[in-house]
């Protein structure tokens, strides 16, 4: 299977993986919208989501196959229940706090559900490649989605501090794996930068002239 192609125009550098998650979720959310997040899971998802007047709905992680896995039937049930209010499913692999590394088959099941409900995946892969069992390698969700026909948009977030063992280095990134969403995000990001420069110029003019 060919490797997932990645272009530099699909990457945005951020303030750590936390900043990357913030950009990704901010762009997807409206007030009253919903994001499915793993439980137990990293608490930052809730902080970001609620800061936009949106809500998290936790899907269960359950002990299974000598590790922890997403409860896919619970995930499906929540997607059915909340319908189009669900803007994204956060998949954290390898997982904090369970340490689980999802199998290829399990990731296929998760991608299939998101495909069935046309929901993008926000993949928090900040611990990508930090695996300790040779029989449980790390598979990026975006690669699995690509192998399955690339129908599900995947926004991957990661950073230097964990994946590259550089604690304290506040460098992260998001990578878009969807041609339409990618263009939209890049436009949004450029608009934000333009606004910042315009504001900054305004302040400078007020202060110095």
Ligand X SMILES: Cc1ncc(COP(=O)(O)O)c(C=O)c1O
Taking CB under 6 A as the criterion, which residues in 34-93 touch ligand X?
42, 92
16 binding ligand X? (CB under 6 A): yes
Least distance in Å: CB of 94 to ligand X? 9
d(CA 205, CA 58): 48
156 binding ligand X? (CB under 6 A): no
Least distance in Å: CB of 201 to ligand X? 31
Q: For residue 155, list its beta bridge partners.
A: 122, 176
2 or 25: CB nearest ligand X: 25
- Residues 6 or more apart in contact with residue 124 via CB below 8 angstroms: 17, 21, 42, 45, 90, 91, 92, 93, 157, 158
> How many Cβ atoms sit within 10 Å of the Cβ of residue 116?
12
Least distance in Å: CB of 104 to ligand X? 21
10 or 96: CB nearest ligand X: 96
Q: Length of the chain, please?
A: 209
Tokens found for residue 109: 């099941």
Q: How many CA atoms lie within 13 A of 32 on its CB side?
A: 2
141 binding ligand X? (CB under 6 A): no
* Interface pattern 109-128 for ligand X (x via CB under 6 A): ---------------x-x--
> Which residues are at the interface with ligand X (CB under 6 A)?
16-18, 42, 92, 96, 124, 126, 159, 161-162, 172
């Amino acid at each position: 299977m060919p490797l997932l192609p990645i272009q530099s125009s699909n990457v945005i550098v951020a303030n750590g993986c936390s900043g990357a998650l913030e950009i990704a979720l901010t762009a997807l959310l409206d007030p009253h919208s919903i994001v499915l997040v793993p439980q137990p899971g990293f608490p930052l998802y809730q902080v970001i989501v609620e800061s936009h007047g949106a809500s998290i709905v936790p899907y269960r992680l359950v002990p299974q196959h000598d590790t922890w896995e997403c409860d896919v039937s619970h995930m499906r049930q929540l997607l059915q229940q909340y319908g189009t209010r669900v803007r994204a499913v956060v998949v954290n692999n390898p997982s904090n706090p369970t340490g689980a590394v999802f199998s290829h088959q399990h990731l296929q099941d998760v991608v299939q559900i998101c495909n069935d409900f046309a929901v993008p995946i926000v993949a928090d892969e900040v611990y990508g490649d930090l695996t300790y069992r040779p029989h449980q390698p790390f598979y990026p969700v975006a690669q699995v989605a690509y192998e399955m026909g690339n129908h599900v948009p995947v926004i991957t977030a990661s950073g230097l501090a964990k994946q590259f063992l550089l604690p304290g280095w506040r460098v992260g990134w998001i990578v878009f794996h969807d041609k339409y969403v990618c263009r939209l995000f890049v436009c949004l990001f450029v608009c934000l930068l333009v606004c910042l420069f315009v504001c900054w110029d305004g302040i400078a003019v007020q202060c110095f002239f």
